[in-house]
Structure formats: C-alpha cells, structure tokens
Amino acid sequence: MALIDGMGRQITYLRLSVTDRCDFRCVYCMAEDMQFLPRSEVLSLEELATVAEAFVALGIRKIRLTGGEPLVRTGLVDLVARLSTLPGLDELTLTTNGARLAQFAHPLKVAGLDRINISLDSLRPERFRELTRTGRLEDVLAGIAAAREAGFRRIKLNSVILRGRNDDEVIDLVSFARHEQLDLAFIEEMPLGVIDEHDRARSFVPSAEILETIGQRHALLPSTDNTGGPARYYRMADSGIRIGVISPHSNNFCGSCNRVRVTASGRLLLCLGNGHGADLRTILRAHPGNLQQLQEAIQATLPQKPERHHFVLDEPPQIVRFMNMTGG
C-alpha cells in the first residue's frame, strides 16, 4: 500500500510526537508559562504503537520520534523497542534536546533506535541557559558524548539561530561539529505559536546569511546527499561532516514534501504550516488496536494535504500551536 496525497506526493515519513511536555522552555519554541495537555488527552504508549503500525502498513518507511522532549516520556525505550521491529520500517530516529541522553543513549541503542538528532543552539553555558530558560549545557554535552559512546553514527546537531542572541556563534558551532565529527543543520525560526519574549521578524536570520558566514571560513561544496527533504547539505574539503540549512521561509520545499505528523494528542497534521488534519485519538479510543479503522481515516484525510505552507514573519502567526504541540 502507498500513501499518495492529492498532489501526487508519496508520503513515506512520519514524525510522531510522544509528548508535548519538556524539561526546557526554549524561547523560540514555547512561552515561559506553558499549559500542557492533561494526561488523559495524550496518547498512551499502546496507542502510539498502534498509530505507528497503521502508518507503516500504509507505506511509511521512516519514523522520527519527537515532542516536546521525547526523553521525558516514561516508557519511551519500550516504545522504541516495539517500533524498531516493525516489518517494513527502514529507519527509526529521535529528535531530542539531549539533556537526558547520558542516561538513555545506551538503552535506546539496545532497543533498536537507528539515529539521533540533538538540538544545540549555544556553546556558552550562560547563553544556553537563557535560550532554553532551564537547560544546562553540560548535560547536553554529556548526552552527545553518551550517544557517541553508545555507538550512534551520523548524529546530527540542530541549531536555531536568532539575530542578536546567538548569530555570533555560527562559526563556533561549525568548529564544534567538525571537532566532534557530527553533522550540523541550521534551522530558520518558524512562526509557530505566539511568543512575547522576542519579535520573530527581528530575530529571523535567513539561511543564506548563515551560509555566507560559514563560507568566509570554509569553502562549502554542495553535497549529493540532498534527499528532497527540507534540508540542503554541504560538505567541506577538509572534513567528513555535512553542514545543512533548513529554510522553510527562504527555500520553499513543499513540492517534494514526503511527511506528515501526528501530535501527542493524536491529531494527524498534514502540514507544519497549516491546520489540515484529522483526530485519530477518537478513532483509537473507539476501536482500540483496530488498524483498519485508523488506516481508513488516514487515507481519507490525505487528499487534504495542502500544496504548501505560507509562513509570514511580520504578521500574527496563522498557526497558533507551539512547536512542542506540533512535534518538531
């Protein structure tokens, strides 16, 4: 079976959010005082596994577990163990803030997780604390080390660069990635959710500027690793790592979009920048463990996948949900 949307795009990639909760409060992702979902509204581990099974049977080949912070979800390692054995799933990956990886990297590897992305926006402890509001840089550095020791390969760092906050750290982050032999992607800030901490229009740094900054220090060679996803990758002659930019504003990649998301509350979202989707939780709870009902709902919703998103920075956000709700 294959999932094909109304534009003829084949959907092979699911981002599954396992919680909306987080131990950080990153300034671009959340308000400082967040209201999280009541636990009864969050999918159980069993329901999350059922969702994954339904999607894999429909042709999904890659699942990324995300959140909120996936590592604050009790039972995550068990979920990974269950999903990693799904026949037909080629890759199971995780996006994390890294703070709990020192504890979980090894068990996750044993459970069958294939790859890890770790978010890291600053290498300066005080600034790291300011950007995450609660995080400790040393925990994340220990987490990165633990992920390497556990045997994870092609670990990727993700950095959101904000003007006036950490745009002077682009080269430091590249140097760190080169030294640690980690891939690194710079993500443009997206207007998801209303934040009052900074003005997204002022803080926005386009990918082109980041590439120019890096280019003054290291010659960047376009990479053949570009897979049609949102990231454009580059290599350097004197390093094996890849440098990527993810540019939802300046480089619209919707034409080749192959992904959908399911939020922690079981809402199927067809596009990061739009509201189109379906409530899978109601189906899951009316027909526990029934893959067919779920698959019919997914198939019926897919034609609504919009052609593209329309992010506008200097207008109030059209999408009022925060990134931790959406599943980053």
Binding footprint of ligand SAM on the chain (CB under 6 A) = 22, 28-29, 66-67, 69, 95-97, 119, 158, 160, 187, 189-190, 192, 323-324, 328
**Under rule CB under 6 A, how many of the chain's residues touch ligand SF4?**
13
Q: 174 to each of 35, 132, 177, 251, how far by Cα in Å?
A: 35, 20, 5, 22
17 or 50: whose CB is closer to ligand SF4? 17
For residue 290, give the amino acid letter: N
At residue 153's C-alpha, the angle toward residues 25 and 269, to 5°, is 45
125 or 215: whose CB is closer to ligand SF4? 125
For residue 187, give the amino acid letter: I
Q: Does 191 bind ligand SF4 (CB under 6 A)?
A: no
Q: How many helices (H) and strands (E) does the chain have?
A: 11, 12
* Interface stretch with ligand SF4, choices 23-31, 40-48, 196-204, 222-230 (CB under 6 A): 23-31
112/89 Cα distance (integer angstroms): 12
> Among ligand SF4, ligand SAM, none, what does residue 25 contact (CB within 5–8 Å per kind)?
ligand SF4
210/206 Cα distance (integer angstroms): 7
Element (H, E) at 216: none
205 or 268: whose CB is closer to ligand SAM? 205
- What is the β-pairing status of strands 267-269 and 277-279? antiparallel
Binding mask 31-70 for ligand SF4 (x = CB under 6 A): ------------------------------------xxx-
Q: Which residues bind ligand SF4 (CB under 6 A)?
A: 22, 24-26, 29-30, 67-69, 97, 119, 323-324
